[in-house]
């Protein structure tokens, strides 16, 4: 029995309506966990976060505590972070380096591949107890990597990661190609929450329509800051990447460390950015180099991985813990081996727009929270309108809503088909 989502998608009439109970209903929320978060490929982390054998980190993914490790052979493991004995969290640290993990309750100790190494008072247990499969830490049912991006799925069966990612895979490649040495997550995580439904952030992350109103003060700030504005106008398209993934890709007036120079960065900066661009062009050809360097991209990989390659690059995930509350983690990702100068500007750029202290994200938060509050009116005000650009001929514009419709169609499909 699938869930009746009530989405109205009428191409002929150019109507796309999402019922507001999708954001408020407890039943929808529980169904989302079953139909989406317990089935889809979910982002876990980036290879650069576990630089050597023994590196580990802990992370909550779809409400489950997960321990992500590299064992002594350098292999990556995604373990459910609960002790097979009585269920205590085995690792209670955020990250570090360790060959073994001792549960603080009774002292069972596990290798970084999850196998039970030692347990105190083992004479109290029968022979063979230590190697009993049920006494080992449990691996997340599936883990796969795409380039240096690791994903997990809590479903035992399903399509492989590359198939799941569809055309979004090429956009991940496009990001990885920014440097011949690959990309790395920069230390320091922005960890916050929003008192709103998680799908509002999925929409917001690639909403090209809201910038002029919601972020007027940011755009004015760019205008006030001498040399911060380049020559490129905000202009571009929305692209459906398949399987619910989508993005907007556009030119923008802001500077990009890879590789779009703005006057603020001076002549020295221009030399450096030209160098970055020339390297891209000689390695990848002019078309690919142009696309990487000059276009900004906001992508949502269904259901909840955002990669915004804008004035800096952010990787962001978010999980709901209630219909009206989500927890967000955001990281900065950057080319390995970029100069100190570029790294500094990248981070300066990032915090200018993005995150809880930026000049833009707080206003996104406000918009999302006010939507959630508005849904309390109920009654006849039942629908959100997601139809912008539906009647347009040709390529959808970046400030239309085709990318959101791609998300919603997949959301609708997964909920409707679940258990059907």
Partner 1 sequence: MTTSTMDRKLDDALLLRLRVEDLLYHEADLIDRWQLEEWFALFTEDAHYYVPPSDVDGDTADPETSLFYIVDDHVRLRERIVRLGKIGAHSEHPRSKLRHLVTNVRAHRDGDIIHSRASFIVSRAKDITHDLFVGHYLHELVERDGQLKIQKKTCVLDMEALRPHARISILL
Contacting positions for Fe ion (CB under 5 A): 364
Phi, psi of 139 (to 5 degrees): -75, 145
Using the minimum distance from each CB to partner 1, give the nearer residue, 113 or 363. 363
- Residue 82, CA atoms < 13 Å, CB-side half-sphere: 11
The entry of partner 1, Fe ion, ligand FES, none that residue 85 binds, CB within 5 to 8 Å by partner kind: ligand FES
Residue 251 CB contacts under 8 Å (≥ 6 apart), including other chains: 232, 233, 234, 235, 236, 294, 295, 296
88 binds, among Fe ion, ligand FES, partner 1, none (CB under 5 to 8 A by kind): ligand FES
- The item of ligand FES, partner 1, Fe ion, none sharing an interface with residue 362, based on CB under 5 to 8 Å by kind, is partner 1
Q: Rounded to the nearest whole angstrom, what is the least distance from the CB of residue 363 to partner 1 in the complex?
A: 4
7, 408 in Cβ contact below 8 A?
A: yes
Of residues 85 through 114, those in contact with ligand FES by CB under 6 A are: 85-86, 88, 103, 105-108
Closer by beta carbon to partner 1, 24 or else 214: 214
Q: Which two tokens stand for residue 248?
A: 């907007």
Q: Which does 193 bind (CB under 5 to 8 A by kind): Fe ion, ligand FES, partner 1, none?
A: partner 1
The string over 301-320, giving b where at least 16 C-beta atoms fall within 10 Å of a residue's C-beta and e elsewhere, is bbbbbbbbbbbbbbbbbbbb
| Per-residue tokens: 90 | 């085995």
Binding site for partner 1 (CB under 8 A): 94, 186-195, 214, 216-218, 220-221, 224-225, 325, 327, 331-332, 340, 343-344, 347-348, 350-352, 355-357, 359, 361-363, 365-367, 369, 373
Which of the choices partner 1, ligand FES, Fe ion, none does residue 75 contact, using the CB cut-off of 5 to 8 A by kind?
Answer: none
Report the partner that residue 281 touches, choosing among Fe ion, ligand FES, partner 1, none (CB closer than 5 to 8 A by kind).
none
Q: Which residues pair with 125 in a beta bridge?
A: none
- The listed partner (partner 1, ligand FES, Fe ion, none) that binds 367, CB under 5 to 8 Å by sort, is partner 1
Nearer to partner 1, 197 or 387 (CB): 197
Are 68 and 150 in contact by the 8 Å Cβ rule? The answer is yes
Shortest distance, CB of residue 170 to partner 1, whole angstroms? 26
DSSP letters of 282-350?
HHH-HHHHHHHHH-EEEEEETTTEEEEESSSEEEEEEEEEETTEEEEEEEEEEETT--HHHHHHHHHHH
Q: Which of residues 325 and 418 has its CB atom nearest to partner 1 in the complex?
A: 325
Please tell me whether residue 348 binds ligand FES under the rule CB under 6 A: no
Q: Which residues contact 72 (CB under 8 A, 6 or more apart)?
A: 53, 54, 99, 111, 112
Which SS3 state, helix, strand or coil, does residue 165 take? helix
The footprint of ligand FES on this chain (CB under 6 A) covers a number of residues equal to 9
Binding site for ligand FES (CB under 6 A): 83, 85-86, 88, 103, 105-108
């Amino acid at each position: 029995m699938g869930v009746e989502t009530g989405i109205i998608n009428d191409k002929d009439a150019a109507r796309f309506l999402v019922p507001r109970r999708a954001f408020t209903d407890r039943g929808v929320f529980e169904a989302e966990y079953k139909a989406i978060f317990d089935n889809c490929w979910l982002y876990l982390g980036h290879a650069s976060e576990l630089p050597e054998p023994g590196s580990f980190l802990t992370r909550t993914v779809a409400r489950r505590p997960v321990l992500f490790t590299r064992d002594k052979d350098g292999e990556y493991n995604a373990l459910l972070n609960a002790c097979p004995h009585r269920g205590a969290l085995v690792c209670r640290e955020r990250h570090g380096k360790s060959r073994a993990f001792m549960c603080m309750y009774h002292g069972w100790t596990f290798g970084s591949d999850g196998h039970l190494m030692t347990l105190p008072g083992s004479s109290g247990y029968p022979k063979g107890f230590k190697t009993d499969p049920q006494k080992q830490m449990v691996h997340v049912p599936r883990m796969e990597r795409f380039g240096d991006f690791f994903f997990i799925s809590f479903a035992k069966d399903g399509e492989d990661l590359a198939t799941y990612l569809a055309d979004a895979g090429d956009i991940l490649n496009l990001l990885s190609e920014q440097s011949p040495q690959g990309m790395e997550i920069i230390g320091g995580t922005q960890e916050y929450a929003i008192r709103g439904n998680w799908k509002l952030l999925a929409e917001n992350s690639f909403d090209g329509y809201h910038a002029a109103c919601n972020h007027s003060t940011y755009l004015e700030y760019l205008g006030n800051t001498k040399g911060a504005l380049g020559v490129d106008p905000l202009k571009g398209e929305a692209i459906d990447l398949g399987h619910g993934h989508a993005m907007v890709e556009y030119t923008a007036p802001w500077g990009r460390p890879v590789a779009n120079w703005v006057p603020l960065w001076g002549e020295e900066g221009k030399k450096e950015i030209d160098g970055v661009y020339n390297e891209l062009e000689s390695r990848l050809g002019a078309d690919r180099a142009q696309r990487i360097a000059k276009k900004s991209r906001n992508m949502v990989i269904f259901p909840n991985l955002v990669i915004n390659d804008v004035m800096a690059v952010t990787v962001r995930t978010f999980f709901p813990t209630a219909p009206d509350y989500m927890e967000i983690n955001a990281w900065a990702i950057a080319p390995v081996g970029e100069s100190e100068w570029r790294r500094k500007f990248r981070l300066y750029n990032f915090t200018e727009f993005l995150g809880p202290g930026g000049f833009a994200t707080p206003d996104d938060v406000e918009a999302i929270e006010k939507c959630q509050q508005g849904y309390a009116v109920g009654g006849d005000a039942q629908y959100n309108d997601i139809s912008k650009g539906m009647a347009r001929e040709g390529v959808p514009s970046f400030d239309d809503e085709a990318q959101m419709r791609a998300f919603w169609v997949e959301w609708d499909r997964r909920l409707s088909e679940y258990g059907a």
